[in-house]
Structure 1
């Protein structure tokens, strides 16, 4: 799919004001949010969410779309699942929840919490360190769009007043 450039949406302007770390270009962030909004509005989208096995504790992933500008992923979250502290290397990102709710803890020199629901879009630039969790007792499904190649993920340990790099892995 190719999307023509348009003026920034109100959701983008609101999300942009909350971006605290890493400053990708406005054009890239606007593109990611626009792709996120257009996909999230598709009524059949949840049919593509990966199924979770009974008793699953790990997330399940489905690559929806990959272009030169972005990757779009659906992620199914069992109750209690967490990403652990990580960043997305050189990729910027945007995500929302399609079903359920998530909590994003992020680190930009201080700990911040954000509750993510279907009415929330979170955006971040490269180097944004966060931990996304499903703290509810029900499964959740989220939609993530990354710009730039999702070519690495760095993992961190949260030490209360700082984070420490543990290692890196190739991206998806």
Structure 2
């Protein structure tokens, strides 16, 4: 099975405030779920909170994280990245998300392809699906459901810190290994595995 490229979602950043569900003044009594744009606005504003960013304890060897209150019931995290660390290839299942580098620089490698959600263990990727983004301090991105990526701090000597938000709160994370064009599903993690 091979996977072909697909369009990547656009990132926009409307004027909603952190903690608001949708940034709109709807008369409806039901609160809307936060959108990718709402999540991006939240991570952008949170990353600008220098006191919060400076409060994250950093470990010289492993990533550190603190859970945050995200908008509209979303799951949010402040994450510290020692030099040379990364996530490995993964997705966030049915959650949409956003992240932004608050200090340092991160690299995101991603696949511009929709993967099947179930029923596979190994896929052969086509040559044109790889994307790389350098995300220095103040830059980030939003992404849609089933977005497959890895995030890395490639600096040899400097920590990076980032803010992440997901909605709905992460139901699972699928972890992958990659060898050339072959992507293999290795593990499915549930919230109790990382909280």
TM tier relative to shorter chain: 0.7 to 0.9
- Counterparts of 1:47 and 1:27 in 2: how far apart (Å)? 27
Residue equivalent to 1:154: 174
Cα pair 1:105 1:131 within 8 Å, conserved: yes
Cα pair 1:153 1:169 within 8 Å, conserved: yes
Residue equivalent to 2:96: 92
CA-based RMSD:
2.3
Cα pair 1:50 1:75 within 8 Å, conserved: no
Structure 2 unmatched ranges of 5 or more: 1-17, 25-32, 114-128
- Counterparts of 2:66 and 2:170 in 1: how far apart (Å)? 14
Q: Which has the larger radius of gyration?
A: 2
Q: Which runs of 4+ in 1 moved over 6 A?
A: none
- Counterparts of 1:85 and 1:134 in 2: how far apart (Å)? 14
The alignment covers a number of residue pairs equal to 152
- Match status 1:144 vs 2:161: no
1:44 alignment partner, SS class: helix
C-alpha deviation, 1:34, in angstroms: 1.7
Cα pair 2:91 2:149 within 8 Å, conserved: yes
Residue equivalent to 1:16: none
C-alpha deviation, 1:165, in angstroms: 1.2
C-alpha deviation, 1:108, in angstroms: 2.4
TM-score (norm 2): 0.70
Cα pair 2:98 2:140 within 8 Å, conserved: yes
C-alpha deviation, 1:27, in angstroms: 5.8
Task: Tell which deviates more after alignment, 151-160 or 79-88.
Answer: 151-160
- Match status 1:40 vs 2:27: no
Task: Tell which deviates more after alignment, 90-99 or 68-77.
Answer: 68-77
Cα pair 1:72 1:144 within 8 Å, conserved: yes
Cα pair 1:158 1:164 within 8 Å, conserved: yes
Spell out the pairing of 1:1-172 with structure 2 (5 A cutoff): 2-3=19-20, 5-6=22-23, 28-52=35-59, 54=60, 56=61, 58-66=62-70, 68-109=72-113, 110-137=129-156, 138-171=158-191, 172=195
